């Protein structure tokens, strides 16, 4: 049975699971589904089309399921589905998908601290941590166990790989490969996220493979096609194999920060046919 504060406004067409607690001045619209054991603090707003899993904790002033912030004033939009056991702190905003047939998705066991914004059509994995005021643009994809420092911003349509660490105030405008740390504005890769990998249970053998793959990508000065082929030949399985899969799925990637070097790991359709295109270019 749900416990609902008298000042809360809950539509009779909403579905609340067992042991749900709804705090003062909350608003829950028609069509909202809340799983067992969720706790909503005061002034939480859940808009139509929102589905919460079990055991989520929603902080004061959070708004989940509002329509997309988009220049086109189209239909109300799609849905938003949130997994289980997330901690969503004060004033977090998560928007529903822009088109009615689409869905914004947030996984399980994530922590979004005060003021985090997740825009329409984002797909967020599991065990993701976003510190205060992190901003995710529309259609951003974040893989499992990525971590974002305070006030980091991720541009729309960008991807962030598993176990990546994005530093505070970092401006991400290109895809961030898995397992790396990035920092700066715009972001640059500064090494492997060794602390995050150890905390995630990565063993010594796999860590060594990741180091070797990292050196291949950023230090061997291989051409794009040669780099991908070598990655797939030398690291066909295990965690390091995720590098080539990630690169095959995009076209512009954050480069390593190196002394006297600039440029980015970038490949466009017109360049991909050029076997001699360098992975990085000197400033």
Picking from 83, 86, 102, 106, the residue whose alpha carbon sits closest to that of residue 94 is 106
The residue whose two tokens read 């061997």 is 220
DSSP class of residue 169 equals T
What are the strands of the beta sheet with 141-142, ordered from one edge? 15-16, 33-34, 50-52, 79-82, 103-106, 123-124, 141-142, 159-160
With the CA atoms of 190, 242, 159 and 228 taken in that order, what torsion angle do they form, in degrees rounded to the nearest 10? 80
- Of the candidates 55, 83, 138, 167, the residue annotated as catalytic is 138
Q: Which of 49, 77, 121, 196 is catalytic?
A: 121
Q: Cα separation of 158 and 139, whole Å?
A: 7
Residues paired with residue 22 on neighbouring β-strands, in sequence order: 4, 40
Does residue 120 carry a catalytic annotation? yes
Contact 155, 170 (CB under 8 A): no
| 186 upstream amide cis, omega within 30 of 0 | yes
Cβ-in-10-Å burial (0-12, 13-18, 19+) of 172 comes to buried
Concerning whether 121 is annotated as a catalytic residue, the answer is yes
Selecting among 35, 59, 84, 120, the annotated active-site residue is: 120
DSSP 120-142: TT-EE-SS-EE-TT-EE-TT-EE
Catalytic residue IDs: 120-121, 138
């Amino acid at each position: 049975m749900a416990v609902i504060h008298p000042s809360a406004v809950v539509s009779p067409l909403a579905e609340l699971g067992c042991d749900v607690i709804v705090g003062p001045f909350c608003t829950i619209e028609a069509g909202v589904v809340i799983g067992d054991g969720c706790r909503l603090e005061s002034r939480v707003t859940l808009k139509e089309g929102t589905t919460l899993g079990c055991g989520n904790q929603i902080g004061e002033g959070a708004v989940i399921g509002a329509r997309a912030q988009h220049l086109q004033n189209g239909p109300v939009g799609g849905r938003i589905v949130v997994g289980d056991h997330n901690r969503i702190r004060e004033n977090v905003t998560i928007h529903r998908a822009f088109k009615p047939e689409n869905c914004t998705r947030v996984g399980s066991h994530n922590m979004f601290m005060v003021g985090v914004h997740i825009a329409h059509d984002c797909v967020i994995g599991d065990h993701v941590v976003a510190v205060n005021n992190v901003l995710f643009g529309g259609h951003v994809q974040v893989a499992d166990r990525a971590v974002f420092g305070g006030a980091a911003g991720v541009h729309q349509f960008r991807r962030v790989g598993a176990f990546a660490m994005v530093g505070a105030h970092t401006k991400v405008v290109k895809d961030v490969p898995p397992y790396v740390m990035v920092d700066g504005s715009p972001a640059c890769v500064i090494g492997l996220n060794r602390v995050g990998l150890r905390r995630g249970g990565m063993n010594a053998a796999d860590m060594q493979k990741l180091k070797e793959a990292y050196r291949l990508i950023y230090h061997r000065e291989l051409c794009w096609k040669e780099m991908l082929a070598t990655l797939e030949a030398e690291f066909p399985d295990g965690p390091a194999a995720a590098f080539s899969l990630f690169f095959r799925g995009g076209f512009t990637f954050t480069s390593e920060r190196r002394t006297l070097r600039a440029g980015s790991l970038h490949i466009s359709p017109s360049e991909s046919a050029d076997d001699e295109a360098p992975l990085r270019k000197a400033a």
